[in-house]
Structure 1
Amino acid sequence: MTAAALADLLLIAALAAYMQTLTGFALGLIMMGGVGLTGLLPLPDAAVLVSLLVIVNAAQVLARGWRDIAWPQFLPALAASLVFQAIGYWLLNLMASASLDWVKLVLGLVIVVSSIQLSLKPEALQQLSSSVSFAGFGAIAGVMGGMFSTAGPPLIYHFYRQPLRPAVVRETLVAIFATNAVVRLGIVAGVGKLPSASFWWGLLAIPVVIGATWLAKRFPPPLSPLAMRRLAFLMLFLSGLSLALPSILRLV
């Protein structure tokens, strides 16, 4: 990886971590969208890097907040997501073996749909949903996580509808994402799909993410939370379209 390419990758990681800290989502989506558009890393390698960054971010969050995890909701969502994560990883390899354009097309569509869904304000529920519903959303998240390490949107939408304290929702989601990331790394290692040589330079993104997270907390921009969500939606929507449309044209 050239110095210029590494600088671009670290810039994308910094932006993703900064937006994640301010909005509560988008780290994986921005990272995968940015890498998909620039081609700085193979997309399967980028998903591995995102998993590592999710674990780093989770370690910072859960160091003090693990006591707020909502275990009755955490367990069914996590169990279903882990089962379906293997399916998602299998689908990623199936698409990659057929054509890189299929991978970019599906990733672009995932980003576009996720951006639209995350831009909507979930309707609050009066009582907690059933364990089956948490398992159902966990299954969808598992497929997305297995493919691109982007398990967030379905669970974020479902959890933020629940009559739970924001801190409880945040810690529970972070714990689910971190566990999924650890297991996904285990799947990658288990099947022997080691990342390419250029991937290892991407590990420099770890201190960048830590620094960007601190900056976002210490020096947030002069924008309202709604404005930040709209900005994140616009970035994700445009990056998703930029990935999906050229791939559709090439496949057609």
Structure 2
Amino acid sequence: MTWSEMQPLLSQACWDTLYMVGWSTLIAVVGGLPLGVLLVLTDRGGLLQNVLANKVIGQVVNIARSMPFIILMVALMNFTRTLTGTTIGREAAIVPLAIGAIPFFARLVETAVREVDGGLVEAVQSMGGNTWTVVRKVLVPESLPSLISSTTTTIVALIGYSAMAGTVGAGGLGDIAIRYGYQRFETELMWITVAILAVVISLIQFAGDFAARSLHRRGGHSGPVPRLRLLKAATATGKTV
């Protein structure tokens, strides 16, 4: 196969992969962020402590995370058909990709939020802040660099999942690698696909790391003490956070 024949196939496959991963990441963040925060809030000593709810949510997340993506894709076929009208193509692939990524991202969010200094939470509470204020003003902003890194990790994982989705007709680079590279013995095309995936993942990882470092420096996160002093100063002057 000549490059002129490969180029349109690769261009469409790249777009399909980015389309699937982009929408899946958006849904995973929208669904996983509140779920991860809720896991922290309902844990022992949390602002919304509820051990039963925490265990139920945690168990559901663990079960969803433990399911191999191929099996999850097959198990959700009827649900996918109900939502999209088909089980083939990039729109159909977004459903299992997003559902598989939500619990994955939720656990990363939980880890990031737990790293926030408890003194900041207590300072906001002493100022009369409610749970929503603590989440909005402390937990999410203070963990934002880690959340960016978690999002990057999720995107990289979704690129790998999308390649697997390509084996069952979802399109994208995985579909090209299997349908042309493997089944039609176009080894050169398969290795080009692998190289493209490697470059895309490297660029995404670089961008994510750069954004996380920039946010960390911009926020002046030299440690919890300066931030805690700022909150206490605001409390003393009667200002709201």
TM-score (norm 1): 0.33
- Highest CA radius of gyration, 1 or 2? 2
Higher relative contact order (CA 8 A, sep 6+): 1
